């Protein structure tokens, strides 16, 4: 089945002087459950807009986006919060809180979800072990390398036990070797937890390394989609 379905999705933004900018148009696309799916395209193609609609940070202006069986574009209040717990997200610039240690950054989504402290502690320990940061749990973000910061971001994104992980250019700020180790970690998580990963990137190599499925986006439209192997080896 599909973890995420886009059905005729469009998004336009109002322009300050009147009129509108079409960021996305006619997006129909499925992210298979358990896949690692990459969306590749140049800057301005509409990738971030697409990703932000999956966790309800933006609403589509046309069509329907279904996440884990729920219509995210029309969800509000408690229903939207529930969808957001099922969707974790990691970022190019990590978005860690500098005043919190590694373990307190990882705990944050659980605190927000109202999970009791006694349950948070052991889960934080497990998540930190999963991303290999046991020795650094008490450090602050400023004391970590880029790759270590992204590991914290990944642990935090997994905190509410989501079904889907969204990655917004998560390796774009990292050197090639660190990129490979972070991609390997994401592939392990996909395999071990059965988590669906939807990632956006402008780097072909990232999609080739990790994604089973790919969609190519240009000027707000999907111009190609399919198995990564087929899309990249087509004549």
* Per-residue contact string for residues 173-192; x = within reach of ligand ADP by CB under 6 A: --------------------
CB 62 within 8 A of CB 5: no
Binders of ligand ADP: how many residues, by CB under 6 A?
11
CB 202 within 8 A of CB 41: yes
**Residue (169 or 209) nearer to ligand ADP, CB:** 169
Could you say which residues in the range 46-65 bind ligand ADP, by CB under 6 A?
A: 46-49
Structure tokens at 105: 């950054």
Shortest distance, position 231 Cβ to ligand ADP, whole Å: 18
Instruction: Tell which residue, 226, 215, 167, 218, has the closest CA to residue 23.
Output: 218
Counting contacts by CB under 6 A, is residue 156 touching ligand ADP?
no
Among 17, 43, 78, 192, binds ligand ADP (CB under 6 A): 43
Q: Point out which span in 38-46, 70-78, 94-102, 191-199 binds ligand ADP (CB under 6 A).
A: 38-46
Among 8, 26, 44, 138, binds ligand ADP (CB under 6 A): 44
CB 199 within 8 A of CB 170: yes
Give the integer Cα–Cα distance in Å for 45 and 196: 23
In the block, tokens 């969808």 appear at 83
């Amino acid at each position: 089945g599909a973890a995420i379905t886009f059905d005729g999705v469009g998004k336009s933004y109002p322009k300050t002087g009147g009129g509108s900018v079409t960021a996305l148009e006619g997006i129909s696309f499925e992210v298979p459950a358990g896949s690692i799916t990459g969306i590749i395209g140049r800057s301005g193609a509409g990738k971030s807009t697409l990703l932000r609609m999956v966790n309800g940070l933006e609403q589509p202006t046309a069509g329907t986006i279904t996440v884990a069986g729920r219509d995210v574009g029309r969800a509000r209040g408690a229903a939207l919060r529930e969808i957001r717990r099922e969707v974790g997200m990691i970022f190019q610039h990590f978005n860690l809180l500098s005043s919190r240690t590694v373990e307190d950054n990882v705990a944050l989504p659980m605190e927000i979800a109202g999970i009791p402290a006694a349950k948070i502690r052991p889960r934080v320990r497990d998540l930190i072990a999963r991303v290999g940061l046991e020795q650094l749990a008490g450090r602050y973000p400023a004391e970590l390398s880029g790759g270590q910061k992204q590991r914290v971001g990944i642990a935090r994104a997994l905190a509410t036990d989501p079904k889907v992980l969204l990655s917004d250019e998560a390796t774009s700020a990292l050197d090639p070797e660190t990129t490979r180790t972070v991609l390997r970690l994401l592939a392990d998580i996909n395999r071990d937890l059965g988590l669906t990963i939807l990632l956006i990137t402008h780097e072909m190599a990232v999609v080739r390394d990790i994604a089973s499925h790919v969609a190519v986006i240009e000027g707000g439209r999907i111009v190609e989609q399919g198995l990564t192997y087929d899309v990249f080896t087509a004549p």
